[in-house]
Structure formats: C-alpha cells, structure tokens
Amino acid sequence: MNTYDVVIVGGGIIGGSIAFELAQRNLRVIVLDRQELMHEASWAAAGMLSPAPDCPADIPLVPLGRASLALYPGFIDAIEDSSEISTGYRTGGTLEVLCHGDTERELSTIVALHHGLGLACEPLPLEEAHEMEPALGREARAAVFLPDEASVNPRSLSAALLDASRMAGAELSPRTDVVSLIKDKKRCAGVKTAAGETFSAGHVVVAAGCWTSQLSDAAPYAPTRPVRGQMVALQHAGKPLRRVLRSERGYIVPRDQATPQNLVAGSTIENVGYEKAVTSGGLEQILGAVNELAPSLAGAEILDTWSGLRPGTPDHLPILGPTDTEGLIIATGHYRNGILLAPVTAKLITEWITEGRTSLNCEDFSPLRFLRGNVDRSAKAQ
C-alpha cells in the first residue's frame, strides 16, 4: 500500500492547486486522475477572472471570488517563478456591453449590484467605450468598465501548475481511475483504483469535477452534474483587441496583443449529460455574439473548436470542506468559476488539513448542506 499525507482525487486546476499549496507545506501528496491531468473543464475554460455574479443564486459566492482574485497575483508569481512558464495572466479589466432590451434599466441594475457587493464598476458613455475598445460594435447601447477583472490562459496555467507542483514535491499519477474510498470504521483512510491498487492517507480530497458524483462514497456530499460549454478559438489579423469584451450573449478573451491576435470566445450552457460535442447551433450562438460585440472579427479565422463539462451543483454553489466522514474533504462544483477560485480553494483546503479551521466563513459551501437537505425533505414526506 502507498502511504501519503494527502491523496487528491482529480487532477484539474482545483486538484493541482491544492497539491501545489500542500506540497509547499512539505506534506507528502499524490494527485490521481482517471485520464491525463488538466484535460477536462480546466483545459476547456476561457480563463476570465470575474467575481461578479451571473445570477442571484451566485451572490453568496462573491466574497469567495473577491478573495481569490486578490490572491491571484501571488499565486501566479509563485507558479511562474517555480516553473519558469508564462501563464498568460493579464490585467486591464473587462468591458461589458448591453445591446438588447431596456439597457438603461439594466445598466443601473448592474452598477448598483456591483457597488453593493463591493465590486468596482464604472458606467461609460458609449463614446468612451469605443475609445477604450475601438473594435466594439455599433450595436452596443450601454457599457460598463470592470477595472479589477483579469484573465489567464488556462492551458498555460495548467502546464505551469503541474510543473510547479512536481518541483514542490507532489506526485502526479494520470490514468489512475479511483473507484472507491477505503473506510476504517467512520474514517476515510485512502482510495482504491480500478487496477486494484490502494493509496492510504490521513486525508482524502475529492476534486474530480462533474465526475465526483460518480464516486458512490462521495456522491451524497457532492451531487455534481455535467454542464457542457462549447468554445471557439479565433485568429484576428486586424487591430488587436485590448481587453476582455462581454455581453449578455457571450464573451471574447484576448490571449495576447500580437498581430495576428489569438482570441477565445464562448460559451454555451447545455444540460446534455456527459456528452462532449461541438454543434452547429452552439457555434452559431457563439459566433453571433462575437460578431455583434466586435464586427471586425467577422473575418477572423477559426483555429479550433471544443467543448468541456463544467461541474454544476443543485444550488449553483461550489462544494468545499470536510464531511462527516473523518479524513474526507470535498473540493468540487465550481461550475464556471474553477479557474477564478483555484487559489482560494487551495488556501482553504490547506487550512482545513493543517489547522482544522479556515480564515473565511465557508458554511454556505459545506458538503453537509446536501445531507441536511435530504433530512429536511424526508421529514416533510413523513
């Protein structure tokens, strides 16, 4: 039996960030993944770093997102210094535009919501918005600037994080399919793989994204589900876009400031199970949003298309923290915010393991909330 301080199930951006943080504390850590590391939701992501809520259900997540965004510069410095790999981290803010409906009312709502949540948000006259981003289309009827938002290239970040984790002493084991947890009375003592290999540990962290619910012992704490998102990579020969552009229909994320310029655009939100595919309808939706946001990109070359499966949860919030099984910790369900929340998730999981407490209140994200919900529903049924 292989023995570690911590076994991490899942080698995406969340599992990798936790491994890096723990290994820096001189804990013996191994990351196990059913396939190649960083090749699911992390590989497919756009890399926008925005703590703003997409809907009212996301509002409890904003303090966590703000905390993680504040950690990002140090997180990037540590990874790049160790790996000597650029992550494509870019500051400069996001320009969000409104093109449809009652834009004046929507603009007021966005500004009030951001300010109420402590997020910087500056309404812009359209003339200023076009000066800030000349590629912006004339369909824009209102605009706001979100100066604190940033972006990163998830694939570059993934490569750098894996290298930094190895350098820190973490072991990485791709193509190692965990099929069950090892129980010792009421304690989780390790994991067992499909090949019959066992790994024992004082703590097991399950960070397997939307596949977490496929692990029967973890499913009651983490009823995750896959939510497909399609993406497009473009190359634009014209004047480079200066910053992230976003609307209610989609977004464009510049990867560089070169000419020709590489960009990614997305995305769809589809409940189609574990089916990864790129569809004509999905591409039409994405490219329609791109051409409305920045009409000059209508002539951009399509370099690649892909899709990924985000880990959704019943209440749209991540699942973070200890369970009522000693030694078992969950870190999943980040949905569209896995890249953003990687630094703070790594910090919190490390605090739980090394100190038994956290510096932030994470009660809203506890895995035990689903057990409580089951108890409540059972009581009402009786």
Q: Where are the alpha helices (DSSP H) in 59-153?
A: 62-83, 103-116, 126-132
| CA–CA distance, 4 with 29 (Å, rounded to integer) | 6
Res. 374: pLDDT tops 80: no
| DSSP string over 156-199 | HHHHHHHHHHHHHT-EEE-S--EEEEEEETTEEEEEEETTS-EE
As a whole number, mean pLDDT of residues 287-302 equals 96
Is the previous residue joined to 267 through a cis bond, with omega within 30 degrees of 0? yes
Res. 266: pLDDT tops 60: yes
Res. 378: pLDDT tops 80: no
Whole-Å CA distances, 111 to 91, 106, 118, 138, 356: 21, 9, 11, 22, 38
Q: Where are the alpha helices (DSSP H) in the chain?
A: 13-24, 41-44, 62-83, 103-116, 126-132, 154-168, 280-293, 338-355, 368-381
The contacts of residue 8 (CB under 8 Å, 6+ apart) are 15, 18, 19, 29, 30, 31, 32, 204, 205, 207
Domains in the chain and their CATH numbers? 2-74+154-224+314-381 (3.50.50.60), 94-147+226-310 (3.30.9.10)
Which pLDDT value is given to residue 1?
A: 63
339: nearest Cα among 55, 98, 43: 43
Tell me the pLDDT band of 57, cut-offs 50, 70 and 90.
confident
Res. 90: pLDDT tops 60: yes
Which pLDDT value is given to residue 373?
A: 65
CA 342, 329, 201, 348 torsion: positive or negative? positive
Which pLDDT value is given to residue 370?
A: 94
Which pLDDT value is given to residue 224?
A: 97
As a whole number, mean pLDDT of residues 372-376 equals 53
Q: Decide: 88 and 257 in contact? Cβ < 8 Å.
A: no
Q: Decide: 354 and 209 in contact? Cβ < 8 Å.
A: no
Res. 382: pLDDT tops 60: no
Which pLDDT value is given to residue 132?
A: 95
Question: What is the pLDDT of the chain when averaged over all its residues?
Answer: 94
Tell me the pLDDT band of 377, cut-offs 50, 70 and 90.
very low
Q: State the residue for tokens 């630094």.
A: 343
Vertex 333 angle, CA 327 and 336, to 5°: 150
Q: What share of the chain has pLDDT > 70, as a percent?
A: 97
Tell me the pLDDT band of 55, cut-offs 50, 70 and 90.
confident
**What are 105-132's pLDDT values in tens digits?**
999 999 999 999 999 999 999 999 999 9
HSE (side-chain half, CA atoms, 13 Å) at 53: 22
Res. 302: pLDDT tops 70: yes
Which pLDDT value is given to residue 107?
A: 94
Which pLDDT value is given to residue 185?
A: 86
| CA–CA distance, 322 with 305 (Å, rounded to integer) | 38
**What are 140-176's pLDDT values in tens digits?**
999 999 999 999 999 999 999 999 999 999 999 999 9
Rg (CA), the chain: 21
Q: Decide: 76 and 85 in contact? Cβ < 8 Å.
A: no
**What are 193-236's pLDDT values in tens digits?**
999 999 999 999 999 999 999 999 999 999 999 999 999 999 99
As a whole number, mean pLDDT of residues 87-115 equals 94
| CA–CA distance, 241 with 253 (Å, rounded to integer) | 9
As a whole number, mean pLDDT of residues 63-82 equals 98
As a whole number, mean pLDDT of residues 328-338 equals 97
Tell me the pLDDT band of 381, cut-offs 50, 70 and 90.
very low
Which pLDDT value is given to residue 246?
A: 96
62-83 vs 13-24: helix crossing angle, rounded to 10: 70
